[in-house]
Amino acid sequence: MRYLSTRGSAPELGFGDVLLAGLADDGGLYVPAEWPSIDTGSAGDYAALTASVLAPYVAPEIGGDELLGLCVDSYAGFRHPEVAPLVQIDDEQWLLELFHGPTLAFKDMALQLVGRMFDLLLERRDERITIVGATSGDTGSAAIEGVRGCERVQIVILYPEGRTSEVQRRQMTTVDAPNVHTLAVDGTFDDCQDLVKAMFADRSFRESQRLSAVNSINWARIVAQTAYHASAADRMGEIDVCVPTGNFGNVLAGWIARHTGADIGRLIVASNANDILTRFITDRDMSTAPVVGTLSPSMDIQVSSNFERLLFEMNDRDGARTADDLLRFRATGRLDTDPDAFDRWIAPVFDAASVSDDETLAEVARVYRDTGLLIDPHTATGTVAARRLLGDRPMVTLATAHPAKFPDAVERATGVRPELPDELADLYERSERLTRVSNDLGEVEALISRLCPV
Ligand SMILES: *Cc1c(COP(=O)(O)O)cnc(C)c1O
Cβ(250) to ligand 1 under 6 A? yes
3-state secondary structure of 4: strand
pLDDT, tens only, 6-29: 999 999 999 999 999 888 889 899
Q: Which of 9-13, 245-249, 348-352, 383-387 has the lowest mean pLDDT?
A: 245-249
Position 235 pLDDT exceeds 80: yes
The mean pLDDT of 293-311, rounded to a whole number, is 90
Q: Ligand 1 centroid vs 181 CA: distance in angstroms?
A: 23
pLDDT score at 241: 98
Q: Ligand 1 centroid vs 65 CA: distance in angstroms?
A: 31
- Nearest-atom number in ligand 1 for the CA of 245 is 9
3-state secondary structure of 21: helix
pLDDT score at 17: 94
CA–CA dist 361, 283 (Å, integer): 27
pLDDT score at 3: 98
Closest residue by Cα to atom 14, ligand 1, is: 298
Closest residue by Cα to atom 1, ligand 1, is: 298
Counted residue by residue, the chain has a size of 454
Q: Ligand 1 centroid vs 421 CA: distance in angstroms?
A: 20
Q: Which domains does the chain have, with CATH numbers?
A: 86-104+220-414 (3.40.50.1100)
CA neighbor of 126 nearest in space, from 207, 64, 210, 3 = 210
Q: Quick one: which H or E segment has residue 183?
A: strand 180-186
The mean pLDDT of 429-438, rounded to a whole number, is 96
pLDDT score at 351: 98
Q: Ligand 1 centroid vs 399 CA: distance in angstroms?
A: 10
Which one of 29, 50, 53, 107 is the catalytic residue? 107
Position 216 pLDDT exceeds 90: no
Q: What is the DSSP letter of 105?
A: B
CA–CA dist 358, 316 (Å, integer): 41
pLDDT score at 454: 83
Cβ(140) to ligand 1 under 6 A? no
pTM for the model stands at 0.95
405 is catalytic: no
Q: Ligand 1 centroid vs 138 CA: distance in angstroms?
A: 8
Cβ(7) to ligand 1 under 6 A? no
- Nearest-atom number in ligand 1 for the CA of 306 is 7
Q: Which of 40-44, 350-354, 372-376, 443-447 has the lowest mean pLDDT?
A: 40-44
Cβ(216) to ligand 1 under 6 A? yes
Mutating to test ligand 1, I would choose from 97, 247, 355 the residue with most ligand atoms within 8 A of its C-beta, which is 247
CA neighbor of 2 nearest in space, from 58, 76, 85, 53 = 58
